[in-house]
C-alpha cells in the first residue's frame, strides 16, 4: 500500500518529535535540581537604606577592572534624581523611590545581578562563558566569550552590560558577587561589608530566608508579606524585603518558574549525543526529497505553458 504526502509528513514529524522530546520534562528537572542549601545569599532590607551609596563606592574599589571614580561622585545626590541601571562601569546602583504613605520618606533600593539559582544567562551562553558556582555566584570568563550577547537578551532583570565603547576587546560586565576576592573564601561581598546601616545580610541562603520571614512576622506593619527572590524564577541569591509593593520599586513580576526549565529540555534533547540533529537533518532531507517531484513537475508544466504562448 502506498503512502500519501500527509502520512509521510506525519511519519517524519513523529520520528523527529520522539528524538527531540523523548525525555520527559519532569525527568529533566529531576536531573538538574541543584542543592541550594549550602549556597550563599544576601537579604536587602530596603526599609533600612538611606541612599548613601557606600555600596557603589565599595564595589568600584574592589573591582580593579572598573574605571576609578572620584569620591565626589558618590556624594553627588543629583545621581538619585533619575532611575539608573547597571552599566559596564557600574556593577551596582542605588535608586530612589517616592513613598507618599510614610510621611514622604523615600525608599532607596540597591540593584545588582540577582545571581539566580537557575540562571537564564548561563543557559543561554553557547560557549560556557558564564557559569553558576556552588556558592551562588555567577562567574564570567572573558576568554570564552564571543560577544554574542545572548546573555543580555536572556536575563529577565536586564543586568548584563556590554562594553560598546571598547572596539578591540569588549566584554560583558556584571556583578561578580565578589567571587574571587571574598565569597569564594566565605566572606561577605564588599558592598555588604561597607554598608553603614547594615541594610544587607550575608549568609547561607536557607538561613537568610528564615531571618527574613521572622522579620516579616515580627513587624507586619513595616514589611509587605513577601520575600522577593525566594521563589521568583526558581529563586535568586539576592532577596529583598520592602515596605512598598515590589512592582512600585521596579521589580518585575516574573513568576516562579525559571526560563531554563522551559528551554533546556529542548536544547539538551536536540544536542545530546548529536543523534537528534542528525534525525532533524534526515527529516528535512526527506521532506526535500518527497517534495522535489512536485517542484520538478511544476517547472516542466511551466515550461510547456511558456512554449505554447
Q: Tell me: the pLDDT tens digits for 184-198? A: 999 999 999 999 999
- CATH code of the domain occupying 40-258: 3.30.70.20
pLDDT at 214: 98
Of 112-121, 147-156, 270-279, the range with the lowest mean pLDDT is 270-279
- Mean pLDDT over residues 147-175, rounded? 95
- Mean pLDDT over residues 299-305, rounded? 62
For cell 513568576, what's the residue?
255
pLDDT for residue 11 is more than 60: no
pLDDT at 285: 78
Q: At what angle do helices 275-308 and 260-271 cross, to 10 degrees?
A: 80
Pairing of strands 238-241, 40-45: parallel
Q: Are 63 and 176 in contact (CB under 8 A)?
A: yes
- Mean pLDDT over residues 234-252, rounded? 97
pLDDT at 81: 93
**What is the pTM assigned to this prediction?**
0.77
Pairing of strands 172-173, 161-162: antiparallel
- Mean pLDDT over residues 221-238, rounded? 97
List CB contacts of 98: < 8 A, sequence separation 6 or more. Answer: 104, 106, 107
pLDDT for residue 5 is more than 90: no
Q: Are 280 and 270 in contact (CB under 8 A)?
A: yes
Amino acid at each position: 500500500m502506498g503512502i500519501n504526502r500527509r502520512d509521510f509528513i506525519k511519519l517524519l514529524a513523529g520520528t523527529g518529535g520522539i528524538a527531540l522530546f523523548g525525555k520527559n520534562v519532569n525527568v529533566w528537572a529531576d536531573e538538574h535540581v541543584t542543592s541550594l542549601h549550602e549556597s550563599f545569599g544576601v537579604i536587602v532590607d530596603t526599609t533600612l537604606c538611606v541612599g548613601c551609596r557606600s555600596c557603589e563606592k565599595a564595589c568600584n574599589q574592589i573591582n580593579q577592572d572598573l574605571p576609578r571614580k572620584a569620591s565626589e561622585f558618590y556624594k553627588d545626590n543629583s545621581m538619585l534624581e533619575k532611575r539608573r541601571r547597571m552599566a559596564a562601569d557600574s556593577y551596582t546602583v542605588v535608586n530612589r523611590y517616592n513613598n507618599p504613605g510614610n510621611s514622604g520618606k523615600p525608599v532607596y533600593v540597591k540593584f545588582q545581578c540577582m545571581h539566580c539559582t537557575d540562571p537564564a544567562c548561563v543557559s543561554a551562553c553557547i560557549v560556557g562563558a558564564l557559569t553558576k558556582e556552588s556558592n551562588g555566584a555567577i562567574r564570567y570568563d572573558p576568554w570564552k566569550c564571543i560577544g554574542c550577547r545572548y546573555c543580555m537578551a536572556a536575563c529577565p532583570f536586564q543586568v548584563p552590560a556590554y562594553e560598546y565603547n571598547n572596539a578591540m576587546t569588549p566584554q560583558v560586565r556584571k556583578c561578580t558577587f565578589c567571587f574571587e576576592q571574598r565569597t569564594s573564601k566565605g566572606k561577605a561581598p564588599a558592598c555588604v561589608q561597607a554598608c553603614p546601616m547594615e541594610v544587607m545580610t550575608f549568609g547561607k541562603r536557607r538561613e537568610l530566608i528564615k531571618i527574613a520571614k521572622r522579620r516579616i512576622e515580627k513587624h507586619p506593619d513595616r514589611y509587605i508579606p513577601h520575600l522577593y527572590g525566594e521563589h521568583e524564577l526558581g529563586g535568586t541569591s539576592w532577596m529583598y524585603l520592602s515596605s512598598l509593593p515590589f512592582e512600585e520599586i521596579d521589580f518585575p513580576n516574573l513568576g516562579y518558574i525559571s526560563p531554563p526549565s522551559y528551554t533546556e529540555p529542548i536544547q539538551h534533547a536536540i544536542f545530546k549525543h548529536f543523534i537528534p540533529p542528525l534525525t532533524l537533518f534526515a527529516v528535512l532531507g526527506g521532506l526535500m526529497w518527497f517534495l522535489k517531484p512536485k517542484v520538478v513537475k511544476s517547472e516542466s508544466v511551466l515550461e510547456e505553458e511558456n512554449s505554447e504562448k
